[in-house]
């Protein structure tokens, strides 16, 4: 509270605009939600929360690589907002019902989802640059570790012997 909410809001607004400009340059990245162009034009104000997918990569893989190779914490899946995520992804009620029934029956199912990054009071332009650099590396296929899927559906590196610092700095 010592900074004042106006200052906090201005910080988030400035970083949100910066993040939109950086993320739009990532090939194959789809940002979800209302038009981000309206934010850049100054006609709409939005929270600094970005939901996205990267073509050719599952949301689980993107989140794992960002965390393990780039030190970027994101969330992945449906974020306790399953209906909204299904709406944003254009998943029909029939497909949702089929996936739910397969899950209940214990059958294999690829659950839909996306990755979410959020801007907070401690977030800086450097943090946004690291996120964008990590996404660009993933889009280019520059993934250093080998990952395997765990029983819970997450992905973990088989070996943690990758050069985190050198990998991260080479794209900034």
pLDDT tens digits for range 158-167: 876 555 544 5
With contact defined as beta carbons under 8 Å apart, do 58 and 143 qualify? no
Q: Return the structure tokens found at 134.
A: 């990590």
Res 172: pLDDT: 44
10-49 b/e (C-beta count within 10 Å ≥ 16 → b): ebbbebbbbbbebbeebeebebbeeebeebeeeeeebebe
CATH code of the domain made up of 5-78+113-169 = 3.90.1150.10
In whole angstroms, give the CA distance from residue 112 to residue 85: 8
pTM: 0.85
Q: Extract the residue ranges of the chain whose pLDDT is less than 70.
A: 160-172
In whole angstroms, give the CA distance from residue 9 to residue 110: 38
DSSP assigned state of 123: -
* DSSP H or E segment with residue 84: helix 82-89
Q: pLDDT of 45-83, one tens digit each?
A: 888 999 999 999 999 999 999 999 999 999 998 888 888
Res 111: pLDDT: 83
Res 154: pLDDT: 86
Q: Would you call 146 exposed, middle or buried from its count of C-beta atoms within 10 A (0-12, 13-18, 19+)?
A: exposed
Res 56: pLDDT: 96
């Amino acid at each position: 509270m010592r900074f004042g909410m106006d200052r906090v809001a201005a910080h988030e607004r400035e970083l949100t605009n910066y993040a939109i400009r950086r993320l739009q340059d990532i090939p194959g990245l789809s940002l979800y939600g209302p038009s981000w162009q309206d934010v850049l034009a100054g006609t709409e104000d939005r929270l600094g929360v970005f939901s996205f997918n990267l073509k050719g990569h599952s949301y689980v893989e993107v989140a794992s690589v960002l965390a393990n190779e780039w030190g970027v914490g994101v969330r992945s899946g449906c974020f306790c907002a399953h209906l909204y995520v299904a709406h944003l992804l254009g998943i029909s009620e029939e497909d949702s019902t089929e996936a739910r029934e397969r899950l209940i029956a214990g059958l294999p199912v690829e659950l839909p989802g996306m990755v979410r990054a959020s801007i907070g009071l401690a977030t800086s332009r450097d943090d946004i640059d690291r996120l964008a650099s990590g996404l660009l590396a993933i889009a280019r296929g520059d993934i250093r570790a080998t990952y395997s899927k765990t029983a819970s559906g997450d992905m973990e590196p088989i070996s943690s012997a990758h050069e985190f610092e050198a990998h991260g700095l080479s794209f900034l």
